[in-house]
Amino acid sequence: MKRIISILLVLILTVSCIGCGSGKAKGKNSDGSDEPIDISEKSSEQFAIITKSADNDYNLRMAQGFQDVILDSGKGCVIYHPENGLVTEQAAFIEKLIDEKAACIAIAPVDAEALEPVLKKAMDAKICVCSFDAPATPDGRMLDISECEGGQMSEMLLDELYDITEGEGSFAIVSSFITSSNQKSWISEIEGLIESDPRYKGLSIANIAYGDDDYRKSYDQTVALLKTDPDIEAICGLSTVAMQGAAQALRDSGSSVKLTGLGLPSELAEYTGEEKEIPCFFMWDPIHLGTITAYVSMALRTGLVDGEEGEQFKVQDNIFSVTKSDDGGTVVIVGEPLRFDSKNIEEWKDVF
């Protein structure tokens, strides 16, 4: 039976139980004394968030949303951005968190399959594990926090590519890591739609390049695509860094190829417009994704949420449902992707 669970801030609840009258609150301390109880002491529990890479504003914003909630709840927060974006860096840090007996690990896996053993080890050590932004394997997580429903992002991107090419022509893709589970899924779904949906029969993928969440490499990969496939009409960037690198490469080369994909309004505003490199692009609020990940992490730790299909919980007047995901695990969807173009980019560029 579905249940509605309100996830409340522990510190606020604690403070609200103390009288507001004059004088100091009295109570028995652990040593039996009648001295006032110190309620300012923070929890020793550590909640960790591990992103895919450093020097990425998208990851910084997700981590900020996570940290704000955890610290406001009176708990400890650990943030780790792998310097080189390597799965070995993520694995080594998870081992460190296991040794330190962290309360919960929230991770955006660089390589879900490779991380499964160490994530299972963490859960065997009674550490809660959830994934966000990109799913860990079903056996490597208790719950995935996803930005959109399966297939939704792929169809939105392909529809935009259809409009750019007028339904006929080839396009290239610039992704981040070849092992990134969410981007692998989007590419597979795009390929499946082209093959199965008659509407997209005139479209084809000319090439797929990987920028490894590195601006310079994404830039260079885009330049190489323009030389290797001069007839492409569009490029689809599947990460914020890929979009930045590709947009600048198109501008520097003077190419008429158009770009769409996933990016931050604050980073792509100068490239966005009908006569510019990017007619439109998409993104969800990364701060919100980090916020919900923090609440889920705390709820998993307290047992308010188990990550089981059918659960419902409430955060800031929004109700979320745990459903079965395409990979057989469970997932909670945090919201709809937003579309940005010349009509609204000025409004959003100062938001995130």
Q: Which residues contact 264 (CB under 8 A, 6 or more apart)?
A: 57, 58, 61, 240, 283, 286, 352
Instruction: Identify the CA nearest to 45 among candidates 293, 301, 303.
Output: 301
Instruction: Identify the CA nearest to 164 among candidates 283, 341, 284.
Output: 341
Burial class of residue 316, CB neighbours in 10 A (0-12, 13-18, 19+): exposed
| pLDDT of amino acid 9 | 35
| pLDDT of amino acid 15 | 31
| pLDDT of amino acid 42 | 56
Task: Delimit the domains of the chain by residue range.
Answer: 4-9+42-148+286-335, 152-283
4-9+42-148+286-335, CATH topology level: Rossmann fold (3.40.50)
| pLDDT of amino acid 316 | 84
CA atoms within 13 A of residue 25's CA, in its CB half-sphere: 13
pTM of the model as a whole = 0.84
| pLDDT of amino acid 43 | 65
The yes or no reply on domain 152-283 and CATH 3.40.50.2300 is yes
In whole angstroms, give the CA distance from residue 312 to residue 281.
Answer: 31
pLDDT tens string, the chain, 352 residues long: the values are 434 444 433 333 333 333 333 333 333 334 455 666 554 555 679 999 999 999 999 999 999 999 999 999 999 999 999 999 999 999 999 999 999 999 999 999 999 999 999 999 999 999 999 999 999 999 999 999 998 887 889 999 999 999 999 999 999 999 999 999 999 999 999 999 999 999 999 999 999 999 999 999 999 999 999 999 999 999 999 999 999 999 999 999 999 999 999 999 999 999 999 999 999 999 999 999 999 999 999 999 999 999 999 999 999 889 999 999 999 999 999 988 999 999 999 999 999 9
Fold match flag (4-9+42-148+286-335 vs 152-283): yes
| pLDDT of amino acid 30 | 44
